[in-house]
Amino acid sequence: MSSPTSAPADLAGRPRVEPSRARRLASPLGTAALALVATAALHARDPHVDGAWGFCPVALVGLACPLCGGLRAVNDLTHLDVGAAASSNLLVLLALPVVVVLWGRRVAACWRGGAAMAPVAPPVWVWWALAGTAGAFTLVRNLPGSWLAP
């Protein structure tokens, strides 16, 4: 049996070694790097041009999904045009600050390490609220004459 001051052990009884801070930060910083490269690509190649990034199968049947216009919204944001980004996809525009805050929270947890690294499981109602919001947004943006249409 281990004493209260000893390091926690793995299943084989070996002391668990905490990964270095650099190793813990690799995942969120790699995610940020990937997002920056994708954003730069969207800035360089305008998704407002038909076919510039291929064709969405959902759009080919005449429907606008919750992410329709997301690439155009990010492109508009790289040109600092918030109004055009809101016109392209309001849901993506509103979700981006939330994603950035959650990413920052993850960076802080990886910086601290230990118990802070434990995954956070949102309550079920959060998932239902997200699904309901995406569903309502999709429904409204597909109505004839909707100002939310991409």
Whole-number pLDDT of residue 126: 94
Listing DSSP states for 106-146 in one string gives: HHHHHHH-GGGGSPP---HHHHHHHHHHHHHHHHHHTSTT-
pLDDT in tens, the chain (150 residues): 544 555 556 677 777 777 888 999 999 999 999 999 999 999 999 998 988 888 888 878 888 888 888 999 999 999 999 999 999 999 999 999 999 999 999 999 999 887 777 878 889 999 999 999 999 999 999 999 888 887
Confirm if 85 and 70 have CB atoms less than 8 A apart: no
Q: Which two tokens stand for residue 57?
A: 């199968």
Angle at 44 (CA atoms; ends 38, 49), nearest 5 degrees: 105
Domain boundaries, given as residue ranges, for the chain: 21-141
Confirm if 35 and 107 have CB atoms less than 8 A apart: no
Whole-number pLDDT of residue 52: 86
The values of phi and psi at residue 14, to 5°, are -80, 145
Whole-number pLDDT of residue 37: 97
Q: Which residue, chain included where needed, has tokens 């499981």?
A: 121
CA–CA gap between residue 24 and residue 106 (Å, rounded) = 10
Whole-number pLDDT of residue 9: 62
Q: Of the candidates 148, 136, 112, 140, which has an alpha carbon nearest to the alpha carbon of residue 18?
A: 112
